[in-house]
Structure 1
Amino acid sequence: MQQVIEIFVRLFSISTVRYFVLAGIPFLLYYKLLNRWYSQSKIQKREAAGSDFFRDILHSIQTTAVFTVIGFAILYTPFKSFTRIYEGITDYPLWWIPVSLFLSLVVHDTYFYWMHRLLHNKSLFKYAHVLHHKSTNPSPWTSYSFHILEAVAEGLVLLVITLLIPMHFITLILFVLTGFVINVYGHLGYEIAPKWLRKTFLFEIFNTSVHHNLHHSKFKGNYGLYFRLWDRLLKTENPDYVKEYDRIQEQRLSRKRAKTYQSSAPAEFEQNVNLSALNENSRG
């Protein structure tokens, strides 16, 4: 029993540190240290209150505990024998690690889309998902801010994936880290996607921070987690998404142009002064 408690505490501690590091660093950068620099990348101009951050952190710790219980059950109880988790790195080809990671993200996105739509059912919304939507202006801390019932529903995707897909422990770690980083980006409150993304096919496939931010501000549509595919296929994507994304990117571009002009203006002024002096000397 002592060993079980020690393993659980270790898993919970690691997961909690991961939450505070991977959500805390972006929060510190964009909301504190560089907020003026990235002001034109802010999706909603109003600021969230400190009480919102505290609520999100509190419920995220609760969610982390729920996820730890589920992870512990899958990895350290007899239930593991029913999963397709394998331990030998050579049990499958090495290329299977990135392939299984990709497949796990596809399964997760599908699972999340339908679970998310179900949670928005009027009969269910008020019992669980309304808590997550208290953050109408989300921040990185919102990433795991779920009601305990939603946390269980969210965490059970790991069970589904390990029952369906052969996965090495390395892939499990990569899946958890990748999913959380993308989740933080979706709740960041700032659009930091590179400008070239808009003109590529990737924009047609992947979600952005603007995409999920619209879900929080409008309370419906944009139910996907990683990809736009289900929302576009089933016509649940917010019709203003692309227009809103372009608006934010234009704001970012305008700020860059302004900074370029300001930095070049003194040089242009000095050049004009030097030319004027040269002309005066040539006349003399």
Structure 2
Amino acid sequence: MHELAAYVADLPLWAAVLICLAENTLILVVGVALGTAVLRLKTVVRLLPDPGRAEPLQWWLAAGSVVLNTAITVVGWKLWTLGVIRFDLDAGWRIVVDLLVLVLAMDFASYLGHALAHVRWLYPLGHRMHHRFVDARPITLFALHPGEVIGFGALWLLMLSVVPLSVWALVGYTVINLVFGIFGHLGVEPLPLRWRRSRLFAIVATPTMHAMHHLNPARNLGFYTTIWDRLFGTLDDAYDPTRTSAT
């Protein structure tokens, strides 16, 4: 792992750009493929009407997100080579701790940023673009206003600059973020009813939670957990009954 890190650190800029572009393109492709596969499951409960094909604007916004996320990844790579961002390259027990800290910290920071994006005078400037797509599709996760992509990217780089983390925790968070993002933008609930009724999923956000946010943008502002929505009173009153319902 250390040899690979040394090789990546010495890459020329053009090579780093191509690798980062390939990485972010792969995330888009895997995300859309995963979402499409989930939609084909016969056991899913549909929460929103089937929207059919994505409109061209969604694909253009998604392509822009890939380009901007590539630029953010390149900046992160450069900050890492300069020692501003530091990673623990060894596998060990701290991976679990780092992953938990990273998920909770990003969940809280994203909640605050999401709440700010819904402030009346800020909402039309960016986040309203994402919410025009009420009938969710796999590509909807990536259909974001450029300002939102840059804002989340800046938050992400700040988080990595403040706390040295395990590189494996970073990989784990990337997977978790993609899964939660895709599942929350499908307009369906794929989780079995028995799981949704468990105490765990009273805290861990289900796909139902974000689908309801697209119907009622003032509620359900969290991403990975319901902690902050419950704490600050922004959880939709119908969320728990809907989450535990068979239909």
Instruction: Give TM class, smaller chain.
Output: 0.7 to 0.9
Asked if residue 208 in structure 1 is aligned to residue 211 in structure 2, the reply is no
Take 1:149 and 1:113, find their aligned partners in 2: how far apart are those partners? Answer: 17
Identify which of 112, 115, 118 aligns with 1:114: 112
Offset at 1:28? 4.3
Q: 1: CA distance between counterparts of 2:38 and 2:200?
A: 26
Aligned to 2:12: 3
Contact 2:196 2:206 in 1 (8 A): no
1:3/1:183 CA distance change after superposition, 3 Å: same
Cα distance in 2 for partners of 1:114, 1:108 equals 10
Mean CA deviation greater in 186-195 or 215-224: 186-195
Report the Cα distance in structure 2 between the residues aligned to 1:188 and 1:102, rounded to whole angstroms: 25
Give the superposition deviation at 1:163.
2.1
Structure 1 segments of 4+ aligned residues over 6 angstroms from their partners? none
* Paired AA for residue 43 in structure 1: L
Q: Which residue of 2 aligns with 1:75?
A: 77
1:182 counterpart residue number? 180
2:21·2:66 contact (CA, 8 Å) conserved in 1?
yes
Q: How far apart are the structure 2 equivalents of 1:137 and 1:130?
A: 14
TM-score normalised by L of structure 2: 0.88
2:50 matches 1:47: yes
Q: Distance in 2 between matches of 1:29 and 1:205?
A: 23
What is the count of residue pairs matched by the alignment?
Answer: 237
Alignment partner of 2:244: what SS? helix
Calculate percent identity across the aligned residue pairs: 22
Q: Structure 1 regions of 5+ residues with no counterpart?
A: 252-284
Deviates more, 1:176-185 or 1:232-241: 176-185
1:89-128 equivalence runs, <5 A:
89=90, 94-128=92-126
Between the aligned partners of 2:37 and 2:190, the Cα distance in structure 1 is: 15
Query: Are 1:195 and 2:193 counterparts?
Result: yes
**Residue deviations 1:148-179, cap 9 Å, x none?**
00101111232122123222333222221221
Task: Compute the RMSD of aligned alpha carbons.
Answer: 2.1
1:206 touches 1:226 (CA, 8 Å); kept in 2? yes
- Structure 1 position 85 matched with structure 2 position 87: yes
User: Which segments of 5 or more consecutive residues in structure 2 lack a partner in the other structure?
Assistant: 1-10
Query: Any residues of structure 2 matched to 1:252-267 within 5 Å, and which?
Result: none
Q: 1:217 to 1:165 in 2, by over 3 A?
A: same
